[in-house]
Amino acid sequence: MTPIRSQILYALGGLLLAALLVACNNSTSAEPVPASEMSASKTEASKDKQEAKRYEVHIESSRELGTLKTRVGEEEYAGVMCSTCHSIPGDKPAAERPTELEEFHTSMKFTHGDLSCNSCHNPDDRNTLRLANGKAIAFEDTMDLCGQCHGPQQRDYNNGAHGGMNGHWDLNQGPRTRNNCVNCHDPHDPAFPTMMPAPPPRDRFLGEPGGSHGDEHSKHTEAKGDHR
């Protein structure tokens, strides 16, 4: 190898070494990302992913809300909207108490505290209800109306302990269906009647409902004979 070629090779090697050193300095001079920031970033990404796939809660509302079951034929009934009759010219002023009803709704049972008809019904628009602050709401939103007085029941409902439920507790796994208040409660007579609870199921170890373990054990011993 000639001296000139050796010098050229040494020069190229030096340039390559210098380039490698510059690249290493640039990579090591960058500030490392703190572990806490990396963890927070992963948490946010996981949270966004969970929120993106959460299902909805659907509250069942009867299609008959805001209507009155009315006979329209010999054996046919239909849900008639309140305004169908209450918008007729010459309609009487809105009744405040069931005792004021003389012709219609006279068979309706009303036992709901000291409320009057217009405590819930909107006299200015018969197709809506009215909150305590005067705001009109649709019949489908009757739960907002009920919750004004029935706070503990609304709290239990929001926590899943009242109102019935079908579907998934975990909304990441699927949707959930809940009942509306008036699906179970008559808004004019909401209290459930007093009734005897169902008897407990028969247990093959404890005998008939109300029996004792000792009685059942004695029957079993007598049937097989005492071999002690």
Query: How far apart are the C-alpha atoms of 85 and 126, rounded to whole Å?
Result: 10
Residue 205 lies inside a defined structural domain of this protein = no
pLDDT of 5 above 80: no
- pLDDT the model gives residue 6: 64
pLDDT in tens, 29-64: 445 556 556 566 666 666 655 556 789 988 888 777
Mean pLDDT highest for which of 21-35, 36-50, 72-86, 112-126? Answer: 112-126
Q: Name the more confident of 28 and 137.
A: 137
Residue 135 lies inside a defined structural domain of this protein = yes
Residue 198 lies inside a defined structural domain of this protein = no
Residue 140 lies inside a defined structural domain of this protein = yes
Domain containing 150: what range?
Answer: 58-72+92-184
Residue 200 lies inside a defined structural domain of this protein = no
Residue 120 lies inside a defined structural domain of this protein = yes
Residue 219 lies inside a defined structural domain of this protein = no
- pLDDT the model gives residue 221: 47
Number of domains in the chain: 1
- For 12-26, 98-112, 164-178, 180-194, which range has the lowest pLDDT when averaged over its residues? 12-26
- pLDDT the model gives residue 25: 63
Mean predicted confidence (pLDDT) in 106-125: 88
For residue 11, the Cα-to-chain-centroid distance in whole angstroms is: 77
**What backbone phi and psi angles, to 5 degrees, belong to 166?**
-130, 145
Mean predicted confidence (pLDDT) in 151-164: 89
Closest CA to 181 of 97, 116, 95, 120: 120
Beta strands in 65-222 (DSSP E): 67-71, 77-81, 129-130, 136-137, 165-167, 176-179
pLDDT of 143 above 60: yes
- pLDDT the model gives residue 121: 92
Residue 226 lies inside a defined structural domain of this protein = no
